[in-house]
Amino acid sequence: MHFKARWRWFWNELHKTSGRMWLLVLLVSVFLMFGMFALLVWSGHYLNEVPGILPPQPDILHEILPHWHAAVFIFKIGFATSIILLMIGALYEPHRMPYAFFMIVLWAFIRIASTTITKLGGPAGLISEFPPITDIKSIWDFIVIGLASPHILFFSGHTGLPFLGHLIFKRPVAYKMLCWPLGFISLAYILSWPQYAWWLILVLLFFWALIIWKWNKLFSLSTLFLFWSFVMAVCVLITRNHYSVDVLGAFFMTGGIAFFGKYWFAKIEQLCEKMEVEFFNKEK
């Protein structure tokens, strides 16, 4: 069944269920989003007042792993690619979208709350340096500072977000849907050429050939999310954008957030599973 038909089916099924549960999830998500932005403003204001750069801390893995500049490209496009994959998951599983939205906002809120409380100096050799904003004109400048500062660590968002997608989305999707994230990556690479390694062209061509070859076949989006989280973990470490404990902690923190989210909204999770089974039977 085409994903447009899935959305029509989901809308019809939604009218048969208690809309109050879905509304509750969305309201809590919006509340957490406002709290998240408030924390970003507070964090940015604090960081703007901190003179200089906080000193880095030693990390054993950083001493072992190479400092690979070519991975900066993958790191820069990694977060946006994860968001595109999440959107694909939402297209194929619309009944999980409100619940997934809540889980992602909860995940972001906990991460920002934690990084706001604890400030750490960026790792030694951090490639993407934070440009300080000296002329604050609006609260958005504080938000930019809070998002871009190397002091905002705790657990790796680049690693945790795709792992969260692995825990939420379960349905297989067609290979042709990968044209969107791969197209974004290819465009970003072309626009940044020749700043990054030429061999990435061969990697991109390989994946384009794979997509064309298996155009209408299905693959596990959950497995792709898991693979992408490992790729992000490696890139984050070898670009020195996080400490190793941040990367390892991303899997445990994300898993814990997903577990508690499912526990707090057990009825929503049960409804998603029920609709998933009915949807699967309808497709047969």
pLDDT band at 125 (very low <50, low <70, confident <90, very high): low
| Length in residues, the chain | 284
Whole-angstrom distance between the N-terminal and C-terminal Cα of the chain?
Answer: 9
| Of the candidate ranges 97-106, 128-137, 192-201, the one whose mean pLDDT is the lowest | 128-137
CB 91 within 8 A of CB 169: no
pLDDT in tens, 142-152: 666 666 665 55
Reported as half-sphere exposure (CB side, CA atoms, 13 A), residue 179 has a value of 8
Which of 74, 71, 96 minimizes the C-alpha distance to 3? 96
Which pLDDT does position 1 carry in this prediction?
47
Q: Across residues 259-268, what is the average pLDDT?
A: 71
User: For residue 219, what are the β-bridge partners?
Assistant: 173
pLDDT in tens, 72-90: 667 778 888 888 888 888 8
CB 149 within 8 A of CB 47: yes
CA separation for the pair 77, 190 (Å, rounded): 13
Most confident of 29-38, 108-117, 130-139: 29-38
Q: Name the more confident of 131 and 219.
A: 219
CB 225 within 8 A of CB 93: no
Which pLDDT does position 251 carry in this prediction?
92
pLDDT in tens, 175-203: 888 888 888 888 887 777 666 667 778 88
Please state, for a pLDDT cut of 90, what percent of the chain lies above it: 6
Global pTM?
0.79
